[in-house]
Amino acid sequence: MLVQDIMTKKVVAIDPEMPIVDVNKLMEQRNIRHFPILMNSQLVGIVSDRDIRVVGSEHPRAQKGVTLKDSVKKIMRSPVLTTHPLDPIEEAAKVLREHKIGAMPVLDGDELVGIVTGIDFLEAMVKMTGVYGATTRLEVEVDNRPGGLASVLDSIAKKKVNVSSVMTTRSDPDAVHFVLRVNTIDGRGLAGELRKEGFEILWPTEKP
Amino acid sequence: MDYAFVYDPALSQYELSDSHPFKPVRLELTKSLLTATGLLEDKHTVQPYPINETQLLRIHQKDYVDAVKAVSKNANFEDAYSYGLGTSDNPIFPNMHEAIMRVCSATTTAVHLVASGKAQRAVNLSGGLHHAHADKASGFCVYNDLAVAIDHAVKKFKLRVAYVDIDAHHGDGVQWLFYDRNDVVTISLHESGRYLFPGTGHTYEIGKDAGRGYSVNMPLEPFSEDVSYLEAFEAVVPLALRKFKPDLIVLQAGADMHRYDPLADLALSVQGMSKSYQRMSELADELCDGRLVATGGGGYDPFRTVPRAWGQLWAAVTRQELPKDIPAAWRKQWERQSPVELPETFADDVTLWKAIPRHNEIESHNRAVVKRLVNTLGSTWGDQ
């Protein structure tokens, strides 16, 4: 999955001269927490709801003398960390996490084409782990070597069962743990047959 | 007639394949058991009357029905797979269209008898194919007999129908077919979709548009037992039914939440399941002059478990009591065909069962989910 698959494409950008009080109103009206700031179509900064909340307060991060009447350029952050529409989402997620920021504008060259926030990544995660079509959970552990997963999938295919999603939940040097969603109601039957063929099935477990 | 048992030997022709876990022999097993106990008499039996294709097409897409008809005649139909046909769950068998139409007819007959006042209650154990979608076969279910029958009650009799699904699997097909409607409420108790097919049935699936607040889902932990199951049932089902005030209750009574079921992971006893049937009977009396239709559904331990469970279902629906012991003649009749030893009593001796590890965690997890669901429903209903 790429940044362009999860980003918000209709970006609301603002002018550096906009008074902070108006930025605040716009955030409330549009239910948006981050605004990229453009000057002559160039990205010059970003402002978040947190930057605005401390204006005029005793908060250690509040700038002395800045009031809500001042223009937003006084509190905007720059330079801005950005990402590219073709970056893999895990790269972008790492940047957000390492810098502890909530959003990144997406630039294609100099052009602002989108924005990604932490919520977009949560959405992506829900989609990745989500259930599409009626399926059963099957957890397998396979040797960490070429063909480890392939042999399980091959055996499942021979039973005319489709695999609609594959996830890796953890791995150690010798084994890899996969969660598959398979389109059969008889997950126990399938697990039983796979066990007989020597595969390590973690779910469904045997009944006590 | 107070009670109707909709039955035709031809209903057993919904047999997906010889080796398939869905075993129509369950019908014959249950019927013969009930006859042996004296609880089922000839006066109860009603032949299903056929429905027409227009009724089927109010629920299923025409291209899908055409596909089912095509594969019924010729197993080499090209697009079968995209309709969920010809998979390990839904293999193609000759005349399958006719066989499933018969099941739809039987469930619609049961609903018709009750909705028209000809019977107060009716049972069709061949019905309960709750996974079938508008355009797709799924989980052993080709046409959704429940949705066709419920639609009949709504359209012809203008009834408000409460659908209660206690099969171990989420009643996804019926839920999605009525998801945006407020004349039908769907209530499903099932093993959590995180572990079991079909993967849906989370507490946040509450319906959409006009149907918001009219879908109720109570997912349970694998290996839930009688006490925890019935506690969740009691916290959710009466609450939702009393809120909705139905004219008719349709109960999908799949029997696969039993400890012996080889497909699902719940761990109920027959007596635990029986309590939920009793409660459904009482709730029908409380809310809709007793009007109740019950169908079968899942249940993959056909000899040892399903006949006892559905025996209890019929007893609850007809306000009768079963004897303690299984009639010896019935055991003799079936013992040679049964791959396992047939039980001597209707109740399970649960003292023989090994304790479930994590029993307390399972119970407290279910309690937390009940709380979350009741809160969600409360705030959804409060908004309306």
Convert the pLDDT of each residue in B142-189 to its tens digit.
999 999 999 999 999 999 999 999 999 999 999 999 999 999 999 999
Give the end of a domain, one of A126, A160, A177. Answer: A126
Statement to judge: residues A119 and A73 lie in one domain: yes
Statement to judge: residues A160 and A182 lie in one domain: yes
Q: Decide if B326 contacts B308 (C-beta within 8 A).
A: yes
| pTM across the whole model | 0.88
Q: Structural domain tally of chain A?
A: 2
Q: Does B197 touch chain A (CB under 8 A)?
A: yes
| Catalytic residue IDs of B | 131
- Which of B194, B263, B267 has its CB closest to that of A185? B263
Tell me whether residues A208 and B357 touch, CB distance under 8 A: yes
Report the pLDDT value the prediction gives residue B364, as an integer from 0 to 100. Answer: 97
Tell me whether residues B198 and A135 touch, CB distance under 8 A: yes
- Which residues of chain B from 117 to 156 reach within 8 Å of chain A, CB to CB? 131, 138-140
Residue B66 has pLDDT above 80, yes or no: yes
* ∠ CA B281-B285-B288, rounded to 5°: 115
Please, how many CA atoms are within 13 Å of residue B233, restricted to the half-sphere of its CB? 25
Tell me whether residues B199 and A136 touch, CB distance under 8 A: yes
Statement to judge: residues A155 and A63 lie in one domain: no
CA Rg value for chain B = 19
Statement to judge: residues A26 and A121 lie in one domain: yes
Best of A131, A163, A185 to disrupt the B interface by mutation (most B CBs within 10 Å)? A185
Statement to judge: residues A58 and A97 lie in one domain: yes
On chain A, the residues whose CB falls within 8 A of the CB of B197 are: 134-136, 184-185, 187
Report the pLDDT value the prediction gives residue B119, as an integer from 0 to 100. Answer: 98
Give the end of a domain, one of A100, A126, A152. Answer: A126
Q: Of the spans A199-208, B16-25, B269-278, which averages the highest pLDDT? A: B269-278
- Which of B197, B259, B262 has its CB closest to that of A134? B197
Report the pLDDT value the prediction gives residue A132, as an integer from 0 to 100. Answer: 73
Q: Which residue of chain B comes nearest to A162, CA vs CA?
A: B87
Domain extent, residue A191, equals 130-203
Question: What is the distance between the alpha carbons of residues B230 and A141, in angstroms, rounded to a whole number?
Answer: 35
Q: Does B169 touch chain A (CB under 8 A)?
A: yes
Q: Determine, yes or no, domain membership for A149.
A: yes
Statement to judge: residues A58 and A154 lie in one domain: no
Q: Decide if B72 contacts B143 (C-beta within 8 A).
A: no
Q: Determine, yes or no, domain membership for A58.
A: yes
Q: Tell which CATH classification among 3.40.640.10, 3.40.50.300, 3.40.50.620, 3.40.800.20 matches the domain B3-48+100-383.
A: 3.40.800.20
Tell me whether residues B89 and A183 touch, CB distance under 8 A: yes
Per residue in A13-34, pLDDT (tens digit) is 999 999 999 999 999 999 999 9
- Of all residues in chain B, the percent with pLDDT exceeding 70 is 99
Q: Does A162 touch chain B (CB under 8 A)?
A: yes
Tell me whether residues A185 and B140 touch, CB distance under 8 A: yes
Q: Determine, yes or no, domain membership for A208.
A: no
Tell me whether residues A187 and B259 touch, CB distance under 8 A: no
Is A64 exposed, middle or buried, given 0-12, 13-18 or 19+ CB atoms closer than 10 A?
exposed
> Which of A166, A176, A191, A125 has its CA nearest to residue B196?
A191
Beta strands in A118-160 (DSSP E): 136-143
CA Rg value for chain A = 24
Question: What is the distance between the alpha carbons of residues A204 and B13, in angstroms, rounded to a whole number?
Answer: 31
Give the end of a domain, one of A76, A104, A126. Answer: A126
CATH number, domain containing residue A58: 3.10.580.10
Q: Determine, yes or no, domain membership for A101.
A: yes
Lowest mean per-residue pLDDT among A4-8, B18-22, B65-69: B18-22
On chain B, the residues whose CB falls within 8 A of the CB of A208 are: 223, 267, 354-357
Q: Does B10 touch chain A (CB under 8 A)?
A: no
Statement to judge: residues A145 and A168 lie in one domain: yes
